[in-house]
Amino acid sequence: MLAQVLKRCSATGQISVWQATRSVASWATVDPAAISGTNPAQGSNLVAGEWKQAEKSKSIPDPYNGEEFIRYPDTQISEIEPFVLSLQEVPKSGLHNPFKNPERYNLYGDISSRAAEEMRKPENLEFFAKLIQRVSPKSYPQALMEVTVTQRFLENFSGDQVRFLARSFGVSGDHTGQKSNGYRWPFGPVGLITPFNFPLEIPALQLMGALFMGNKPLLHVDRRVSIVPEQFLRMLHYVGMPKTDVDFIQGDGRVVNELLVRAQPRSTLFTGSKRVAEKLVADLDGKVFLEDAGFDWKILGPDVGDVDYVAWQADQDAYACSGQKCSAQSLLFMHENWKQAGLEQKLKELAAKRNLDDVTVGPVLTWTSDAMLAHVKKLLQLPGARLVFGGEKLTGHDIPQVYGAIQPTAVFVPLECILRTQETFDLVTTEVFGPVQVITSYKDEQLPQVLEATERMNAHLTAAVVSNDARFLHQVLGNTVNGTTYAGRRARTTGAPQNHWFGPAGDPRAAGIGTPEAIRLVWSCHREVIEDFGPVPPADKPLKQS
Ligand SMILES: NC(=O)c1ccc[n+]([C@@H]2O[C@H](COP(=O)([O-])OP(=O)(O)OC[C@H]3O[C@@H](n4cnc5c(N)ncnc54)[C@H](O)[C@@H]3O)[C@@H](O)[C@H]2O)c1
């Protein structure tokens, strides 16, 4: 299977250039083109400045052929003490703050600048894109986008931008000598946990934010892909990051859970499923910021236009990365005018073009084919439901059964049925982390029911309102809450570039990623220092008791 992928990519020029010019950087410990069952990669932990193995290792099955192609340290609870101690040694005031070690703001401006320069080298862009493709199957453009976003983010926080992030402000006081100043203050020891689907972008952007603000993070990324952030850390060391600034643990999430409970970081950023998010909130007494599950909707307004573009964007939103994006379009509310314009047929034709050869559809890492198809079957049993397209397993591949592989699938469910009972609503709004979406339609007078559906949902991550009608847009925007909402004819649900905030809303625990505001919110807290130096009032002016 991989051979097929490599062959086809080669035909499109994607791999041939890479292989002809391939040279792996001195800081890298793996070669994405050479990892295989016979030549497995080996990951490592990093604690207190040293790369280490755990006593046991486990293997990851290659998503393309099932061969055990990466070994990772299967860290046990009996081995977490050094990680606990390393975090506990960090003061609450952090490694730097505006009063302590301010040189480190400059250090991180320099690290960010040098890391951006290193990543900008074509061979390193290729290195990360190919490595991402090996472990988290997605098309080459999707993998490259993740690397480009990370590279641009590093450029954004070069030079003095790190200290500008921690910019303080002052307000004059009530008398001479008094002045209050607001500072962005680090938490000190912090946890950072991220999932498999963006193995570089999510850990890299959050990690750098944590470091910029003066924290020492313990990083854990899903074991299936943690070889990618490991290479990023090695690159950061190469460009000057002190090796003791970040600890990195691979292995089972439950071990990390125990580590966090024992070490008690002052704050933890968790990106992943709602189930684990809520567990960590309870275990860590609420000291958690969340980027959790996404069930993302798109509303196509009554004004139809640019039908081919809107269809293309809808296909991208629902099925790029085989639907394994937290921002994937899961529920499409289509005004009946779009039905008449033939949108369903266009979506069907676009979905049919997706194929395994260029990984525009491919392995699903957390849902098996049987689990996804069982969900589709339940949807199809709802009154008035019908299969628009898909609903079958992919064939002609060696993807192992632990992973899923189904056709891009769409099920139409009538709006009245979606809202009928809580049970139906819960079924329709279950996040399938794979290429499955629900489509429904509405008439003008049913817009209140569409808004009722958005109100009843629990996840408020991304949304799209596809319309150029300002009044329609305002009505929908004014009655919904999703944290990252695209509005206008070109609106999409996916896309988390470095130039805008990405994160959920409607929850005080909601985190963000990417922008200065997101970094300040997640990785620092407010501290007010009120200076009051005098002079004190003259002796002949009596001081009044209060
Ligand atoms: N909101 C966002 O920005 C965003 C981004 C990407 C993915 N997601 C969500 O992530 C989910 C997909 O990932 P998944 O199902 O693999 O998530 P998951 O919650 O199972 O795993 C996420 C991470 O948590 C770790 N983990 C698991 N159990 C843990 C525990 N008890 N304590 C500490 N860490 C633990 C895992 O090792 C992994 O690194 C989807 O729901 C998706 O919407 C959200």
* Residue 325, both tokens: 């994006």
Give residue 195 CA to ligand 1 midpoint distance, Å.
4
Name the DSSP class of 301.
-
Gap from CA of 506 to ligand 1 centroid (Å):
20
351-371 pLDDT per residue, tens? 999 999 999 999 999 999 999
**Ligand 1: centre distance to CA 8 (Å):** 32
Distance from the alpha carbon of residue 395 to the mean position of ligand 1, in angstroms: 29
> What is the mean pLDDT of the segment spanning 268-293?
97
Which of 451, 459, 493 lies closest to 476, judged by CA? 451
Considering only CA atoms, which of 252, 191, 257 is closest in space to residue 224? 252
CA-closest residue to ligand 1 atom 29: 253
How far does the centroid of ligand 1 lie from the alpha carbon of residue 275, in Å? 9
Give the atom of ligand 1 at the shortest distance from the alpha carbon of 276.
19
Per-residue pLDDT of 140-178, as tens digits, reads 999 999 999 999 999 999 999 999 999 999 999 999 999
- pLDDT-derived band at 66 (thresholds 50, 70, 90) equals very high
> For residue 467, which of 245, 333, 301 has the smallest C-alpha distance?
301
Quickly tell me which residue has 């509303």 as its tokens: 299
Count of C-beta atoms within a 10 Å radius of residue 175: 11
Kindly state the helix (H) or strand (E) to which residue 270 belongs, with its residue range: strand 267-271
Closest by CA to 407, choosing from 420, 421, 388, is 388
Task: Look at residue 305 and give its three-state secondary structure.
Answer: coil
Locus of tokens 């809303």: 505
Residues in CB range of 11: below 8 A, 6 or more apart: none
**Whose CA is closest to atom 16 on ligand 1?**
195
Measure 207 CA to ligand 1 centroid, in angstroms. Answer: 16
Which amino acid appears at position 82 of this protein? P
pTM for the structure as a whole = 0.95
Best residue among 83, 193, 258 to mutate for probing ligand 1's pocket (most ligand atoms within 8 Å of CB) is: 193
In this structure, which residue's CA is closest to atom 1 in ligand 1?
A: 291
pLDDT, position 546 = 85
What is the Cα–Cα distance from 390 to 300, expressed in whole angstroms? Answer: 22
For residue 308, give the DSSP letter. H
pLDDT of residue 408: 98
Task: Report how far residue 383's alpha carbon sits from residue 417's, in angstroms, rounded to the nearest whole number.
Answer: 7
Of ligand 1's listed atoms, the one at least distance from the Cα of 222 is 39
CA 389 to CA 51: how far, in whole Å?
Answer: 49
Atom of ligand 1 nearest to the CA of 196: 16
Residues in the chain: 546
Q: Answer for the pair 218, 211: CB distance below 8 angstroms, yes or no.
A: no
Residue 24 identity (one-letter amino acid): V
Q: Whose CA is nearest to atom 39 of ligand 1?
A: 222
Question: Is the model's pLDDT at 89 over the cut of 50?
Answer: yes
Which two tokens mark 342?
């033939």
Q: Which ligand 1 atom is at minimum distance from the Cα of 198?
A: 6
pLDDT category, 294, cuts 50, 70, 90?
Answer: confident
pLDDT in tens, 97-129: 999 999 999 999 999 999 999 999 999 999 999
Q: Which ligand 1 atom lies nearest to the CA of residue 365?
A: 16
> Measured between alpha carbons, how far is residue 333 from residues 442, 453, 461, 464 in Å?
7, 10, 17, 10
Question: What digits encode the pLDDT tens for the residues 221-259?
Answer: 999 999 999 999 999 999 999 999 999 999 999 999 999
Report the nearest-CA residue for atom 32 of ligand 1.
257
CA distance 320 to 138: 7
Q: What is the pLDDT of residue 490?
A: 98
| Positions marked catalytic | 291, 326
**pLDDT given at position 4:** 52
- Distance from C-alpha of 454 to C-alpha of 473, rounded to nearest angstrom: 14
Which residue minimizes the CA distance to atom 9 of ligand 1? 272
Longest dimension (CA), the chain: 95
Q: Which of 221, 259, 260, 276 to mutate to test the pocket of ligand 1 (most atoms within 8 A of CB)?
A: 276
Percent of the chain whose predicted confidence (pLDDT) is above 90: 93
Rounded CA-CA distance 485/429 in Å is 18
This complex has an ipTM of 0.97
d(CA 106, CA 101): 10
pLDDT over 60 at 15, yes or no: no
Calculate how far, in angstroms, residue 366's C-alpha sits from the geometric centre of ligand 1.
Answer: 10
**Ligand 1 atom closest to the CA of 291, numbered from 1:** 1
Mean pLDDT of 172-189: 97
Strands of 57-61's sheet in order across? 41-42, 68-73, 57-61
DSSP E strand stretches across 366-430:
386-389, 409-412
Q: What is the distance between the alpha carbons of residues 114 and 439, in angstroms, rounded to a whole number?
A: 46
Q: What's the mean per-residue pLDDT of the chain?
A: 95
Residue in the block written with tokens 């958005």: 454
Q: Which atom of ligand 1 is nearest to the CA of 275?
A: 19
Instruction: Classify residue 374 as exposed, middle or buried by CB count within 10 Å of its CB (0-12, 13-18, 19+).
Output: exposed
Helix (H) or strand (E) segment spanning residue 216: strand 216-221
Report the C-alpha gap between 377 and 242 in whole angstroms: 53
C-beta separation of 409 from 391 below 8 A: yes
Pocket of ligand 1 (CB under 6 A): 193-197, 220-222, 253-254, 256-257, 271-273, 276, 279-280, 291-294, 326, 366, 431, 433, 461
Mutate to test the pocket of ligand 1, among 292, 431, 493 (most ligand atoms within 8 A of CB): 292
Q: How many Å separate Cα 225 from the centre of its chain?
A: 13
Residues 6+ apart with CB under 8 A from 82: 47, 48
Instruction: Evaluate the CA torsion angle 371, 372, 376, 377 in order and state its sign.
Output: negative
Taking the centre of ligand 1 as the mean of its atom positions, its distance from the CA of residue 51, in whole angstroms, is 25
Ligand 1: which of 146, 252, 256, 273 to mutate, most ligand atoms within 8 Å of CB? 273
Cα–ligand 1 centroid distance for 459 (angstroms): 14
Task: Please tell me the residue having the least CA distance from ligand 1 atom 4.
Answer: 326
Q: Is the predicted pLDDT of residue 22 greater than 90, yes or no?
A: no
- For residue 28, what pLDDT is reported? 98
pLDDT at 17: 41
pLDDT of residue 132: 98
Give pLDDT, residue 20.
44
Contacts of 61 (CB under 8 A, 6+ apart): 67, 68, 69, 400, 402, 403
Q: Which residue has the tokens 């190469």?
A: 238
Helices (H), 439-513: 447-456, 470-478
CA angle centred on 258, ends 257 and 264, rounded to 5°: 90
Half-sphere CA count of 28, side-chain side, radius 13 A: 21
| Number of C-beta neighbours around residue 11 at 10 A | 12
Report which residue type is found at 19.
Q
Average pLDDT over residues 315-338: 97
Report CA 252 to chain centroid distance, whole Å. Answer: 19
Using the CB atoms, write b or e for 212-230: b if 16+ within 10 Å: bbbbbbbbbbbbbbbbbbb
Give the tens place of pLDDT for each residue, 446-459. Answer: 999 999 999 999 99
